[in-house]
Structure 1
Amino acid sequence: MPEERAVISWCKVPALNSPPYGSDDPQPLWKNKTSSLSLTRSGNPCKFACVSVEERKLDKDFFPSAPQLLKHPLAIVALVPKDAALFLAGAIAGAAAKTVTAPLDRIKILMQTHGVRVGQESAKKAINFIEAVTVIGKEEGIRGYWKGNLPQVIRVIPYSAVQLLAYEIYKKLFRGKDGELSVVGRLAAGACAGMTSTFVTYPLDVLRLRLAVEPGYRTMSQVALSMLREEGLASFYHGLGPSLIGIAPYIAVNFCVFDLLKKSLPEKYQKRTETSLITAVLSASLATLTCYPLDTVRRQMQLKGTPYKTVLEALSGIMAREGVIGLYRGFIPNALKTLPNSSIRLTTYDTIKRVIAASEKEFQTMTEENRQKHNQANK
């Protein structure tokens, strides 16, 4: 009988040297997981060996007690599911940012849509920033600057949740075989996440625009019922094409530049709040400058009685009437709104992620201490 020899085969597992998908933990998998070696026998010398790596799970019997959690309240955050915590953080940050910047958003929309609303024959086809501020204050008072903000706040809650969740999912899908996410993959993930969240919440955006610029309506329900009776269900998706085209590059550039700028800095600066603020302002400014013309097209296509049916028709029509500058009507208030809006949202998201990571670490530390005390007591 010929002599049998053992054969050892090695298989590269890239994920062992990179953080888990969707995680910002810089530690490789093999450093924070439990590894084991399995040997298989069946009456003969061992012919098979398997090295496995699995996530280390904490025993619930050693979870921190109520007094421990009261002494270290940060650890309580670890009891909240991570996705739920990020959902809530995104919702609160988005709602606060939209409310603070609502006046600038209302002014921007008025400047974008003035030419279409007053009609083709009007001598005054455009108004500037100061004129828009004056018109709203004179005709509607202080409350007019926040007109249409409620549907926007309602919209931002599911919008933020869907966008953040979709971004994490798409990042996993676009990772390479080595587990790394390239710049192109990051851009694609951001674009797909932006389009997904826009499609889901688009009807609320149309309602908010109608409520903000069309006289005679006081509530969202009045606008919705009027649109259903007079224009049909399809009216809730007017301008969806340019919205998807516009949001895809905007979110892609915004998220990608934000991530890459932070990663390019020394590690000691990456976790600072001021770093998040600065990188958020830069990424949002670049994305806004690049994608703003499509936002103007979208707004004019959403209006009742709009003469535009396609994106190209709207682009050529706006440029014929007002020139290239017509595509950037309302850019200044939009830029002023984008800076604090993106800064609040992205900085809050970054901060919450750091708090969650710190709470999980503290929770695990107390659990390990309880386990060690239990083992020492039983010796």
Structure 2
Amino acid sequence: MSFSLITLPAPHADMAFASISLCEPVLCHERRAAGPVLELALSSPGCSGPAPVLRLARSQPLPPSPPPSRATRRLLRRPLVLLASVPRPLVLFFAGAASGAIAKTLTAPLDRVKILLQVKGGLQTGSLGAAARAGSLLRSLVELGRAEGVAGYWKGNLPQVLRVVPHSAAQLLSYDVYKRALADEEGRLSVWKRLAAGAAAGMTATLLTYPLDTLRFRIAVDPSATGLVSTCRALLREGSGGAFYRGLGASLLGIAPYMALELATYDLLPQQLPSFARGLGAALVATVSCYPLDTVRRHVQMSAAGHVAWGAAAAELWGTEGLLGFYRGFVPSALKNLPNKGIKLSVFDKAKRLMALAQEARLEEEQERALDEAGVEKRAGILGFCKKIE
């Protein structure tokens, strides 16, 4: 006779099973299943004698877990409450800065090629300059790698990141500020007010960061530019401090409608769409509409002494290349801008939602604290009344 104890899962109840092996085969007959104990009679055709009875105790269901205590809830809310204590403009500033820097770094190779195509190679010579003048995107990408190596794809990215961090932060933060200033008492904004807020935000960010954009552009198109310091010195020799603001007028004329369309379109697209998809759609509308102004701005920046006005540059471009000349480099620009803007606007939107959750958590904690203080005062009042009675 052998005995063995095993534990098996039950199909309909949580219970422990004990198995006793007397003879083979063993037949199991249920005798009583009412209550917490299940009795099973074990018998074997090859054995004589009374059938042993196996009693199995049903395990009781686990009690439901108690709700988290107030202290636990406060601990879980603590990160959001701490975030709510940070000024809203500061949170939005860092959210815009981080999203802009990541997006620009990931799309830097396409940005470099886009600039070369816009200015037909700029000061580049050899096969790279020929590919850019021919307007070939793939060939320009290949020749850029051959001429300058992998690092050439990110040439000029440092001033670009230095520019885009304050530019993206100032742009998105100022857009939020302008919208709040233009909204009515109920917080509503018309389409025209959204467009005005976007245009003002774009011009504000451009005025603050334009010298860095000029540096980034010169490093990207000038093969003799080796770094920030040497490029700064070259620009100062060309036209003193004014060289850093060459083409500013064309930039403001280009950025105002671009940002107005991009930011307003992002707000007006259906909220049910993912924020990344809304960012892509908004960037597409703005890029198609405003790309010619950006091309004119690049041609003004290319002039050595800065004497070419944006109107004259546009007329020359129209006379030599027609409408297609204004859209040189559009494909790499679109490939760069669409995911760039999608990432930036999506991250910024999520930061604003996180701020809203943080404000709710802080309000909930303040309400609980007020109730606790009211309870303390009530208990103190009762104790004082009892002492008076005594």
TM-score (structure 1 length as normaliser) = 0.75
Q: Within the alignment, does 1:231 sit opposite 2:239 as a pair? A: yes
CA drift of 1:367 comes to 2.3
**1:130-209 matches, cutoff 5 A:** 130-175=138-183, 180-209=188-217
1:362 alignment counterpart: 361
Q: Which one scores higher on RCO, CA 8 angstroms, separation ≥ 6?
A: 1
Are the equivalent residues in 1 in contact too, given 2:122–2:222 (CA < 8 A)?
A: no
Amino acid paired to 2:98: I
Amino acid paired to 1:129: L
Q: Within the alignment, does 1:111 sit opposite 2:110 as a pair? A: no
Q: Find the residue that maps to 2:139 and give its secondary structure.
A: helix
2:276 alignment counterpart: 277
Are the equivalent residues in 2 in contact too, given 1:163–1:194 (CA < 8 A)?
A: yes
Percent identity between the two aligned chains? 45
**1:13-92 matches, cutoff 5 A:** 68-69=74-75, 72-92=78-98
| C-alpha spacing 1:65/1:156, structure 2 compared with 1 (3 Å) | farther
Q: Find the residue that maps to 1:216 and give its secondary structure.
A: coil
Q: Within the alignment, does 1:323 sit opposite 2:322 as a pair? A: yes
Q: 1:259 aligns with which of 257, 261, 267?
A: 267
Q: 1:260-293: CA deviations, max 9, x gaps?
A: 113xx4xxx3xxxx62111111111000000001
Q: Find the residue that maps to 2:189 and give its secondary structure.
A: coil
Give distance in 2, aligned partners of 1:154 and 1:178: 38
Amino acid paired to 1:298: R
Amino acid paired to 2:74: Q
Are the equivalent residues in 1 in contact too, given 2:239–2:305 (CA < 8 A)?
A: no
Give distance in 1, aligned partners of 2:305 and 2:114: 18
- The gaps in structure 2 that reach 5 residues or longer are 1-69, 379-390
Are the equivalent residues in 1 in contact too, given 2:198–2:259 (CA < 8 A)?
A: yes
CA drift of 1:79 comes to 2.0
Q: Find the residue that maps to 2:275 and give its secondary structure.
A: helix
CA drift of 1:326 comes to 1.2
Q: Find the residue that maps to 1:232 and give its secondary structure.
A: helix
Are the equivalent residues in 2 in contact too, given 1:158–1:201 (CA < 8 A)?
A: yes
- More off after superposition, 346-355 vs 231-240: 231-240
Amino acid paired to 1:294: L
CA drift of 1:324 comes to 1.4
Give distance in 1, aligned partners of 2:130 and 2:168: 41
Q: Within the alignment, does 1:216 sit opposite 2:232 as a pair? A: no
**1:338-353 matches, cutoff 5 A:** 338-353=337-352
Amino acid paired to 1:86: L
1:295 alignment counterpart: 294
Are the equivalent residues in 2 in contact too, given 1:69–1:76 (CA < 8 A)?
A: no
2:386 alignment counterpart: none
Give distance in 1, aligned partners of 2:158 and 2:217: 11
Q: Within the alignment, does 1:95 sit opposite 2:94 as a pair? A: no
Q: 1:74-98: CA deviations, max 9, x gaps?
A: 3321121111111111111110010
CA drift of 1:150 comes to 0.6
Amino acid paired to 1:85: V
- The gaps in structure 1 that reach 5 residues or longer are 1-63
- More off after superposition, 245-254 vs 193-202: 193-202
Are the equivalent residues in 2 in contact too, given 1:211–1:219 (CA < 8 A)?
A: yes
Look at both structures and tell me which one has the larger radius of gyration over its CA atoms. 2
Give distance in 1, aligned partners of 2:376 and 2:306: 80
| C-alpha spacing 1:118/1:221, structure 2 compared with 1 (3 Å) | closer
Give distance in 2, aligned partners of 1:169 and 1:83: 9
> Over aligned residue pairs, what C-alpha RMSD do you find?
2.5
| C-alpha spacing 1:180/1:201, structure 2 compared with 1 (3 Å) | same
Amino acid paired to 2:96: G
Are the equivalent residues in 2 in contact too, given 1:115–1:126 (CA < 8 A)?
A: no
- More off after superposition, 123-132 vs 216-225: 123-132
Q: Within the alignment, does 1:243 sit opposite 2:242 as a pair? A: no
Q: 1:36-76: CA deviations, max 9, x gaps?
A: xxxxxxxxxxxxxxxxxxxxxxxxxxxx9999346643332
- More off after superposition, 124-133 vs 332-341: 124-133
Matched residue count: 305
Amino acid paired to 2:142: T
Q: 1:200-227: CA deviations, max 9, x gaps?
A: 1101000000111101222111101111
Give distance in 2, aligned partners of 1:123 and 1:107: 13
Q: Find the residue that maps to 1:215 and give its secondary structure.
A: coil
Give distance in 1, aligned partners of 2:237 and 2:180: 43
Amino acid paired to 1:84: L
Q: Find the residue that maps to 2:269 and give its secondary structure.
A: helix
**1:302-321 matches, cutoff 5 A:** 302-305=301-304, 309-321=308-320
